[in-house]
């Protein structure tokens, strides 16, 4: 069985994590396949937006704990490979030129919550939950913390990682972690429709908008204005290439 399903709906590429019996937990092979698929979508001329979702009742349960049995001091190469792909996977979303919509169809926990929030736009089913339970297992919500602290207020973010308690869709919406809450049966269709609207934008303008957005989010105000001026000067080229 393929662990990642890839389907195109017009200019929208739909990536579906497909380990429903494992609640789409991220083992090494799925993590690497998803990373490669996101980069492939970004390079594909006919693709202008991406939707990421999960098969079955869960979005993604996070890291596949059964795989951690092999992550011992005797296998440092595998430990390094696992840590490296985790970091690259959670960092690649902001580096893509094309927008990603996450359709959070069910529980998104740990690394799964990180993927859910890494999307440029996030839609969440009314029945879904999102959380970082790592601390309850004596470990740390480590790589995924980078995205969380940039998208939630500090008090809320700390409470999530320090207690390990999940939040429901209404709370996620109130915290600004997701854009919209949708009935489960309508979630994927609305995510694709949202992605289609993004796909209709001229690709040069979308790529520049996304790059500037993430750059400005990390810059001091004056430097963000300067970055905006640089893009403003380049806008005529967008119009010519449209």
* Residue 192 sits in the same domain as residue 220: no
Closest listed residue to residue 116, CA positions, set 177, 158, 170? 177
* Residue 9 sits in the same domain as residue 35: yes
Question: Which tokens is 148 given?
Answer: 């969380």
Question: Bridge-partner residues for 26, per DSSP?
Answer: 63
Per-residue pLDDT of the chain in tens (242 residues, 90 and over written 9): 899 999 999 999 999 999 999 999 999 999 999 999 999 999 999 999 999 999 999 999 998 877 766 666 666 777 778 889 999 999 999 999 999 999 999 999 999 999 999 999 999 999 999 999 999 989 999 999 999 999 999 999 999 999 999 999 999 999 999 999 999 999 999 999 999 999 999 999 999 999 999 999 999 999 999 999 999 988 776 665 54
Range of the domain at 212: 202-241
Is 101 strand, coil or helix?
strand
Question: Bridge-partner residues for 180, per DSSP?
Answer: 123
Closest listed residue to residue 111, CA positions, set 93, 82, 125, 131? 131
Closest listed residue to residue 96, CA positions, set 177, 30, 38? 38
121-125 and 129-131 strand pairing: unpaired
| pLDDT for the residue numbered 68 | 66
What CATH number is given to the structural domain containing 146? Answer: 3.90.226.10
* Residue 140 sits in the same domain as residue 173: yes
Render 15-81 in DSSP notation, one character per residue: EEE--GGGTT-B-HHHHHHHHHHHHHHHH-TT--EEEEEESTT-SB-SB-GGGGGG-SGGGHHHHHH
Residue 137 CB contacts under 8 Å (≥ 6 apart), including other chains: none
* Residue 124 sits in the same domain as residue 213: no
Question: Is residue 169 a contact partner of residue 136, using CB atoms and an 8 Å limit?
Answer: no
* Residue 93 sits in the same domain as residue 189: yes
| pLDDT for the residue numbered 240 | 53
Residue 171 CB contacts under 8 Å (≥ 6 apart), including other chains: none
Q: pTM higher than 0.85 for the full model?
A: yes
* Residue 131 sits in the same domain as residue 171: yes
Domain count, the chain: 2
* Residue 221 sits in the same domain as residue 122: no
* Residue 128 sits in the same domain as residue 170: yes
CA R_g for the chain: 18
Q: Which residues are catalytic?
A: 134
| pLDDT for the residue numbered 237 | 64
Residue 115 CB contacts under 8 Å (≥ 6 apart), including other chains: 52, 59, 60, 89, 90, 102, 108
* Residue 191 sits in the same domain as residue 232: no
| pLDDT for the residue numbered 239 | 62
* Residue 172 sits in the same domain as residue 71: yes
Residues 64 and 27: their CA atoms lie apart, in Å, by 5
* Residue 131 sits in the same domain as residue 224: no
* Residue 143 sits in the same domain as residue 170: yes
Question: How many alpha carbons fall within 13 Å on the CB side of residue 108?
Answer: 32
């Amino acid at each position: 069985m393929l662990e990642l399903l890839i389907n195109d709906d017009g200019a929208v590429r739909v990536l579906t994590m497909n380990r429903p019996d494992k609640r789409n937990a991220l083992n090494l092979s799925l993590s690497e396949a998803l990373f490669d698929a996101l980069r492939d979508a970004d390079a594909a001329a006919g693709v202008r937006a991406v939707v990421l979702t999960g098969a079955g009742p869960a979005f993604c349960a996070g890291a596949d704990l059964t795989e951690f049995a092999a992550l011992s001091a005797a296998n440092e190469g595998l430990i390094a490979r696992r840590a490296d792909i985790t970091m690259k996977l959670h960092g690649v979303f902001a580096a893509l030129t094309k927008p990603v919509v996450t359709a959070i169809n069910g529980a998104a926990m740990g690394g799964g919550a990180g993927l859910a929030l890494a999307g440029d736009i996030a839609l969440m089913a009314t029945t879904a939950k999102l959380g970082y339970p790592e601390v309850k297992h004596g470990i740390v919500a480590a790589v995924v913390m980078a995205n969380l602290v940039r998208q939630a207020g500090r008090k809320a973010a700390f409470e999530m990682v320090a207690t390990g308690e999940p939040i429901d869709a209404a709370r996620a919406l109130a915290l600004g972690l997701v854009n919209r809450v949708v009935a489960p049966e309508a979630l994927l269709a609305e995510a694709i429709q949202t992605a289609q609207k993004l796909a209709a934008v001229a690709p040069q303008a979308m790529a520049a908008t996304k790059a500037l957005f993430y750059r400005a989010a990390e810059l001091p105000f004056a430097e963000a204005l300067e970055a905006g001026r640089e893009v403003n000067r380049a806008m005529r080229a967008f119009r010519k290439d449209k």
